Amino acid sequence: MKKYKDSISDYEKPIFNREWNIGFLSLVLISVFALSIWNAAMLQIELDKSTQEYLTDVTSQLSRDIRDSINNKITNLAMAADSLSQFTESRDTDDISGFLTRKSRTLEFDPMILFDRKGGFVSSHTDDGKTRSHPRDFLKLPSVQSSFRGSIQASYMGGESIFYSVPTYINGKVEGVLVGVRSKENMQSLISSKSFSGQMLSCIVDSRGQVVIAPTDLKPFLQLDDIFKNKENEEVIAGIQQMQMDMAENRDGVLKFTAVTKEKLVLSYNPLNINDWFLLTIIPADIISHGLNQYILQTFVIIAATILIFSLFLFAVFRFYNAHKRQLEQVAYIDPLTGGLNNAAFQARYRELSKDMEPCSYSIVLLNVRGFKMVNEQYGTRIGNQTLSYIYRVLKLHLREGQDEFAARGESDHFFLCLKEYRPAALRCRLNDMLHDINAFHDTDLPVLSLSFKQGACLVNDPGQEITQLQDHARIALQSCGTDIRHECAFYDESLIQRLKMEQELNALFEDSIENRHFQVYLQPKIGLKSSRLEGAEALVRWNHPEKGIIFPSDFIPLFESNGKICRLDLYVFTEVCAAIDRWRQEGLPLVPVSVNLSRQHFRDPRFLDTFAGIASGFKIPDKILEFELTESIFFDTQQIKAVKEAIQEMHRLGFLCSLDDFGSGFSSLGLLKEFDVDSLKLDRSFFLNMTGQKAKDVISCLIDLSRHLKVKTVAEGIESMEQVEFLRTMDCDMVQGYVFSAPIPVNKFEKRYLKARP
């Protein structure tokens, strides 16, 4: 079973969907976050690219500087060698040594040595006049030997010093080799750079990776070989292979790798174009982005904080919205009087239920307390409200659990029910049970009242039909109930609409018809059974409309009863009757009592008889000529019993007679005769429809006996056969009224037939 909550969200078709909004906002927030990350990643890539480009620029410049510097040294050495050619001709060793010593200072060689072919040599001196190295060792070096063959050489020794050698010529022949040695420190200053805030480290290696000049003993150069031994990371292995290939083919390039210290480094290699030497330069990978990373991180923190604050704000807004919604819910869907559903909630719940409702399974019922105004007037609004609340409670107790039934108070004393019931008989039965329980007034301190209800129902054939329309149909059915308190639940059907239309038409015509005397009084004689003569008449109204023709009381009396117009009509008929009697009196015709029907609606005004008495005295109608017929239903209205009793006394005081009409048509009780001081009893025609059985005859006989005993005259209504007349005569019934003698006829006809024709 579907469980319903008394919550706005259960009824509401939201203009905007909360879940969707939360989803949408979350998506926006996630997108903003993802975009920020992507942006940062792109920034990182761009920075890496810039770092590499910058590194390439810087290292190629540096390698050019180094190459130029080495070439300069070679040129300087070659120029010194050229100058030495003259000395070597004179062979003055001291001169040569002095020359070399001077030159070694200006050209920053330490030392400078001149070798001759025979293995002899002259070296520069240090400041204290000593020779620093062991020159004979140099003689065996391949580069020196190569210079004896005429080539200019630059080579290295043990990664510590650079060794330059150029040939010296005499008469165009190589006579010796001039060697210049650059110390480790000298070379280190050559490759040390102030770029990248001093974080850049360079060294010169040959194409096999052997260090020619290492500028420092610091990391990461100590692990330089490790780079080439790294076998773990495939990407690095591929990079290293590429590097080895590039170096073998004298190309420059860049390699990214992670040092053993986990530091990310960028290594650039540039050929020096001197021997197979390369300049290797290493910088930390984040050298450019390092400062920026911090800003990126800060940006992330700011974005995350913004998102968090925004989310908290949204959360607060939703909480506020929910709290506000609950308040609205109270206002919009809860009836403050009963604490239950109101009409809006009823409609919303029906719409929800109708989504999976089977056709022809439910009905919408409307209940309206008759004369609830009287409860308010008699007991006050507080008790009135408590009574409504009590009614709602009892109705709710009758809802079947698990069947999705619900009840709501519509407006004032109207209650709507949605019941899982489709068969009219079963529905009537359930409603009777409910109303019976309401009138039991169990478990309440409220005054015990006899509440009657107008009941209208609409059987739901098509669950898709709009609930407001179904409610309207139930209302139409309810309106068709009229004023009869015994009326059971009325069901809506198309004929009701026709009837409603007709009633609206008749209502619209009423005033005009009263003014233009379209209402006519007909009289139906009451024949005395002992005298077999006219002993009275009943005035019955006919509506003879010029366009609509004759309209019968059954079509308009209940309508005018329900809207109160009947009082006006009764006064009209009463006046017409008085005028007729007045005329008979003036014409010297015999006067017989004439009864007029009096609607129960008059009893709402405690002084209503004053008006009737005023009219009657205006026509100087003698006492006991005018009679009021009260239908038996009025005697069951507990709220009016007292008023009716007093009115009957007042009628007698004013000279009117009073009869109890339609006795036996409903829940007649002999007690009525004892309670109410009526002059005659009109036995309803239903008594005589089936008189064949002895029991029926006995009942009639008993009634007539009792009436006679109480000095109440009996009139049998609706008598159509002489057989009935003869039976009633044997029963000592006083009068007979029915088609057997005459149908109701216009007053002039009545006069002619019954009054003027009398002997």
The span from the CA of 145 to the CA of 179, in Å, is: 11
Nearer to ligand C2E, 155 or 524 (CB): 524
Query: Are the C-beta atoms of residues 199 and 281 closer than 8 Å to each other?
Result: no
User: Could you say which of Mg ion, ligand C2E, none residue 10 binds, taking C-beta under 5 to 8 angstroms by partner kind?
Assistant: none
**Using alpha carbons only, what angle is made at residue 364 by residues 435 and 492, rounded to the nearest 5 degrees?**
95
Nearer to ligand C2E, 476 or 541 (CB): 541
**Using alpha carbons only, what angle is made at residue 284 by residues 283 and 290, rounded to the nearest 5 degrees?**
130
Sheet of strand 490-491, all strands in order from the earlier edge strand to the far edge: 406-409, 414-419, 362-369, 453-460, 490-491
User: Could you say which of Mg ion, ligand C2E, none residue 480 binds, taking C-beta under 5 to 8 angstroms by partner kind?
Assistant: none
Bridge pairing between strands 626-631 and 680-683: unpaired
Residue 143 lies near ligand C2E (rule: CB under 6 A): no
Residues 598-637 that bind ligand C2E (CB under 6 A): 599, 629
Nearer to ligand C2E, 401 or 515 (CB): 515
Residue 209 in tokens? 């990776």
User: Could you say which of ligand C2E, Mg ion, none residue 552 binds, taking C-beta under 5 to 8 angstroms by partner kind?
Assistant: ligand C2E
Query: Are the C-beta atoms of residues 285 and 265 closer than 8 Å to each other?
Result: yes
Residue 679 lies near Mg ion (rule: CB under 5 A): no
Question: Binding segment for ligand C2E among 26-34, 41-49, 313-321, 553-561 (CB under 6 A)?
Answer: 553-561
Question: Binding segment for Mg ion among 15-23, 335-343, 614-622, 712-720 (CB under 5 A)?
Answer: 712-720
Nearer to ligand C2E, 154 or 523 (CB): 523
Residues 643-672 that bind ligand C2E (CB under 6 A): 661-662
Residue type, 507: N
The site for Mg ion, by CB under 5 A, has a size of 5
CB of 727 to ligand C2E, least distance (A): 15
- Among 557, 571, 589, 699, the residue binding ligand C2E under the rule CB under 6 A is 557
CB of 743 to ligand C2E, least distance (A): 6
- Among 363, 524, 659, 707, the residue binding ligand C2E under the rule CB under 6 A is 524
- Among 59, 363, 479, 597, the residue binding ligand C2E under the rule CB under 6 A is 597
Residue 661 lies near Mg ion (rule: CB under 5 A): yes
- Among 541, 577, 634, 733, the residue binding ligand C2E under the rule CB under 6 A is 541
Residues 354-413 that bind ligand C2E (CB under 6 A): none
CB of 405 to ligand C2E, least distance (A): 39
Bridge pairing between strands 490-491 and 406-409: unpaired
The most distant pair of C-alpha atoms in the chain lies apart, rounded to whole Å, by 200
Residue 315 lies near ligand C2E (rule: CB under 6 A): no
List the one residue out of 627, 703, 636 whose CA is nearest residue 666: 636
CB of 643 to Mg ion, least distance (A): 20
Q: Which SS3 state, helix, strand or coil, does residue 46 take?
A: helix
Residue type, 582: D
User: Could you say which of Mg ion, ligand C2E, none residue 573 binds, taking C-beta under 5 to 8 angstroms by partner kind?
Assistant: ligand C2E
**Using alpha carbons only, what angle is made at residue 117 by residues 115 and 123, rounded to the nearest 5 degrees?**
15
Within a 10 A sphere around the Cβ of 385, how many other Cβ atoms?
A: 14
CB of 3 to ligand C2E, least distance (A): 52
Cross-strand partners of 659: 629, 680
Q: DSSP letters of 625-644?
A: SEEEEEEGGGGG-TTTHHHH
Query: Are the C-beta atoms of residues 568 and 515 closer than 8 Å to each other?
Result: no
The span from the CA of 304 to the CA of 320, in Å, is: 24
Nearer to ligand C2E, 632 or 751 (CB): 632
CB of 524 to ligand C2E, least distance (A): 6
Question: Any idea how long the chain is?
Answer: 759
Query: What is the per-residue burial (b if ≥16 Cβ within 10 Å, else e) of 104-139?
Result: beebebbbbbbbeeeeebbbbeeeeeeeeeebeebb
Question: Binding segment for ligand C2E among 45-53, 371-379, 617-625, 713-721 (CB under 6 A)?
Answer: 713-721
User: Could you say which of Mg ion, ligand C2E, none residue 570 binds, taking C-beta under 5 to 8 angstroms by partner kind?
Assistant: ligand C2E
Does 271 sit behind a cis peptide bond, omega within 30 degrees of 0 on the bond before it? no
Q: Could you give the string, one character per residue 614-653, with x where binding to Mg ion holds by CB under 5 A and - elsewhere? A: ---------------x------------------------
Nearer to ligand C2E, 87 or 741 (CB): 741
CB of 666 to ligand C2E, least distance (A): 12
Q: How far is CA 523 from the centre of its chain?
A: 68
Question: Binding segment for ligand C2E among 317-325, 402-410, 449-457, 549-557 (CB under 6 A)?
Answer: 549-557
CB of 664 to ligand C2E, least distance (A): 11
Nearer to Mg ion, 88 or 597 (CB): 597
**Cβ-defined contacts of 234-239 (< 8 Å, 24+):** none
User: Could you say which of Mg ion, ligand C2E, none residue 738 binds, taking C-beta under 5 to 8 angstroms by partner kind?
Assistant: ligand C2E
Nearer to ligand C2E, 275 or 520 (CB): 520
Nearer to ligand C2E, 346 or 727 (CB): 727
Cross-strand partners of 173: 170
Query: What is the per-residue burial (b if ≥16 Cβ within 10 Å, else e) of 255-271?
Result: bebebeeeeebbbbbbb
The span from the CA of 227 to the CA of 256, in Å, is: 10
CB of 738 to Mg ion, least distance (A): 11
Bridge pairing between strands 626-631 and 657-663: parallel
Residue type, 243: M
The span from the CA of 582 to the CA of 599, in Å, is: 24
Handedness of CA 687, 689, 690, 691 (dihedral sign): positive
Handedness of CA 503, 509, 511, 514 (dihedral sign): negative
Residue 573 lies near ligand C2E (rule: CB under 6 A): yes
The site for ligand C2E, by CB under 6 A, has a size of 23
Question: Binding segment for ligand C2E among 159-167, 474-482, 499-507, 718-726 (CB under 6 A)?
Answer: 718-726
CB of 707 to ligand C2E, least distance (A): 17
Handedness of CA 492, 497, 502, 505 (dihedral sign): positive
Q: Could you give the string, one character per residue 671-710, with x where binding to ligand C2E holds by CB under 6 A and - elsewhere? A: --------------x-------------------------
Residue 535 in tokens? 């002993």
- Among 165, 562, 597, 659, the residue binding Mg ion under the rule CB under 5 A is 597
Residue 739 lies near ligand C2E (rule: CB under 6 A): yes
CB of 718 to ligand C2E, least distance (A): 4
Nearer to Mg ion, 363 or 597 (CB): 597
- Among 566, 577, 716, 733, the residue binding ligand C2E under the rule CB under 6 A is 566
The span from the CA of 618 to the CA of 133, in Å, is: 165
Query: Are the C-beta atoms of residues 562 and 483 closer than 8 Å to each other?
Result: yes
Beta strands per DSSP E along 320-370: 362-369
The span from the CA of 696 to the CA of 731, in Å, is: 12
CB of 716 to ligand C2E, least distance (A): 10
Question: Which residue in the block uniquely carries the two structure tokens 């030495």?
Answer: 84
By the criterion CB under 6 A, which residues form the site for ligand C2E? 524, 540-541, 552-554, 557, 566, 570, 573, 597, 599, 629, 661-662, 685, 717-720, 738-739, 744
By the criterion CB under 5 A, which residues form the site for Mg ion? 597, 629, 661-662, 717
